[in-house]
Structure 1
Amino acid sequence: MKPSLRSSDEDEAATSARQKIENALAQYEAALNASDTTAVAKMFVADGVFMAPNNPSVIGIDAIQRAYDGIFQTISFDTELTVAEVVQTASNWAFARTNSKGFVTVKTLEQRVPDANHELFILQKDANDQWKIARYSFATTNPLPR
């Protein structure tokens, strides 16, 4: 994962929070690339929401785990997140905007295709003071087919 750049006016507390959030995003990226449903689900808060394009929202850890089970049965990822922005909005809430680029492999076709997205993560600290994904949505940045 490519981390964000430190803002010149960022204080020590903000730097620490940003680094912890970026570490959480790196863990998500690693779990995604490993097709590790359990590790992905652990990155979400209990009432987390996963919002994939052209699909209804998926709410709660069990539903998120089932959604990623389905995704990982269909495709595998080789992608890298680049953090564009991290903003802590309260002591236990933040959002991160990322871009990703890489490939997905469509398992039934054994075809590797380019993949690029922009993502929005809303993060919340859990009871153990760990940053977790509370809401996650993404959209492709690949050009439309002609």
Structure 2
Amino acid sequence: MNADEQAVATLLARYQDALNGSDTAAVMDMYAPDGVFMPQHSPSSVGLAAVQQAYEAVFSAITLTVEFAVAEVRQIAPDWVLARTNSAGSVKIHATGEEGPEANQELFLLQKVDGAWKIARYCFSTTNPPRA
């Protein structure tokens, strides 16, 4: 990995920690000003205000304990990097107290903004089998 790709891998580790800590402020620090969050089964959240609202809703509904595995990090232009990850762990649903497995595949498009890598676009989908 070149230096930019390594910096992105480091950002992804910070993102994992922010998710596990239900830390909206830390997540928001990693998003570009025009960032887009595209969670499975939900409409896209476009722009920082909408992204923040979406993460606040996620963290009020669930607690994640996941570990990211970086599958690939590819610099596609001087200020753009594509990253693909897989995550696995557990989720606790606050409304019911139920806990279960959590596993996703994720795609990140990152942009260098004022010299720092930021999440420009992020989407994920589950790799868990359908729940019965």
Counterpart Cα distance in 1 of 2:53 and 2:28? 9
Aligned Cα root-mean-square deviation (Å): 0.9
Q: Which of 83, 91, 97 is the matching residue for 2:70? A: 83
CA distance in 1: counterparts of 2:49 and 2:14, whole angstroms: 19
Q: Which amino acid aligns with 2:121?
A: R
Q: Does 2:111 correspond to 1:106?
A: no
Structure 2: any 5+ residue segments left out of the alignment?
none
Offset of 1:141 from its aligned partner?
A: 0.2
Query: In the TM superposition, what is the alpha-carbon distance from 1:145 to its structure 2 partner?
Result: 3.0
**What is the CA–CA distance in structure 2 between the aligned matches of 1:144 and 1:58, rounded to whole Å?**
25
Q: CA separation in 2, counterparts of 1:35 and 1:145?
A: 24
Matched, 1:55 2:42: yes
Give the equivalent residue in structure 2 for 1:93. Answer: 80
Distance 1:36 1:25 in 2: 14
* Residue 46 (structure 1) shift: 0.4
Q: Which runs of 4+ in 1 moved over 6 A?
A: none
Structure with the bigger percentage of strand? 2
Aligned residues: 132
Letter in 2 for 1:70: A
State which of 123, 126, 131 in structure 1 corresponds to 2:117: 131
Report Cα offsets for 1:11-31 as digits up to 9, x if no partner: xxx421221000111111111
Q: Which has the larger radius of gyration?
A: 1
Equivalent-residue separation in structure 1 for 2:4 and 2:60 (angstroms)? 34
Question: Unmatched 5+ residue regions in structure 1?
Answer: 1-13
TM-score of the pair, normalised by structure 1: 0.88
TM-score by length of structure 2 reads 0.96
State the alpha-carbon separation in 2 of the partners of residues 87 and 27 from structure 1: 18
